[in-house]
Amino acid sequence: MKAVVLSMLLILVFCLNAWAVELSAAEWDKRIVLRGGLISYDMSGDFKSTKDGRPEIKVDMDDLGLEEDETTYFLGAAFRLGERWRLRLDYFNYHDDANKTNNELLEFDDLIVAPGGKLDSSLDIDLYVVNLSYDLYSSNRAKFGVGLGAHVVDFDLEIVGKTNDGTNLGDASEDFTVPIPNLFVGGLYAFRNDLLFNYGGGWMSMSYGDYDGELIFAKGALEYWPFKNVGLGAGYSYISADIDRDTGKKKENYDIEMPGPIFYVTVGF
């Protein structure tokens, strides 16, 4: 947690000092770039739980009837601060609800649902990414930088079990927000002033309190700017979050992969 606070303070300091700098840059290297579009996930997710020394119990998204092929929106922004500093922000999400007749015995946490029972499930994932980087290499055609930042994972899983006649059997749920510091690499390459390749990725694993987590984030996209301030982008994004929680009496693991193609509109100034 201290590393997250330090990263945020560093970002604030550089933002306050760098905006006053006047720069001259290549036409394609915009100072402010905003992106918004769609991502089509091909997801997978496993959730494991063990309590008071009992055998480990595992369920996956298929068991709960949650969609693994899901199209949703994402948002992003990039700010060029000074001649070489850059601040990048990204937001990704997944939200789904499912109702399913249970085909096999389901056990998770203290919830037990026999075959033929009903499952009402919901999974909400929000991922916030912030990175501050410095361009180690800068030319009229390419930029490449490294930096530090944080991934914040907001995770909410709820499973409600019922008998076939609608009698409530109870529920199992987990809701947590985990900030994970990351190391970042990324950059831009201009084939022409109107055709760019934009890429970046981050990784870090850490432990604090009851949590032990690892998160990988990578994205690459080709952007075409038919107009000076408006462009279109298409590429691919990959997100993997593997988070363990151990309270001493209860151990849980949440392993999520969220890969998929992205399509978006971008505006730059």
Partners of 183 in beta bridges: 148, 203
Which CATH number do you get for residue 186? 2.40.128.100
Go through the chain and tell me how many residues it has: 269
* C-alpha span between 210 and 202 (Å, rounded): 23
So what's the pLDDT on residue 109? 79
Q: How far apart are CA 69 and CA 150, in angstroms?
A: 27
Confidence category of residue 191, pLDDT binned at 50, 70, 90: very high
pLDDT of 1: 46
- Give me the residue label for tokens 């499973």: 159
140 in helix, strand or coil?
Answer: coil
The rounded distance, in Å, linking the Cα atoms of 12 and 8 is 6
Sequence-ordered list of residues with C-beta below 8 angstroms from that of 71, at least 6 positions apart, any chain: 38, 39, 40, 41
CA trace torsion 39, 42, 44, 45 (10° rounding): 30
Q: Round to whole Å and give the CA distance between 127 and 147.
A: 19
pLDDT category at 11 given cuts 50, 70, 90 is very low
pTM, rounded to two decimals: 0.84
Please give the residue range of the domain that contains residue 84.
2-268
In single-letter form, the type of residue at position 228 comes to K
For 147, the token pair is 């930096």
Please give the tally of structural domains in the chain: 1
pLDDT of 10 > 60? The answer is: no
- Average pLDDT of the segment spanning 21-37: 78
pLDDT at residue 17 greater than cutoff 60: no
pLDDT digits (tens, 9 = 90+) for 30-57: 999 999 999 999 999 998 888 777 788 8
DSSP state of 19: T
Above 80 in pLDDT, residue 21? no
pLDDT attached to residue 2: 43
SS3 209: coil
Q: What is the pLDDT of residues 74-93, one digit of tens each?
A: 999 999 998 899 999 999 99
Range in 52-56, 82-86, 134-138, 167-171 with the lowest mean pLDDT: 52-56
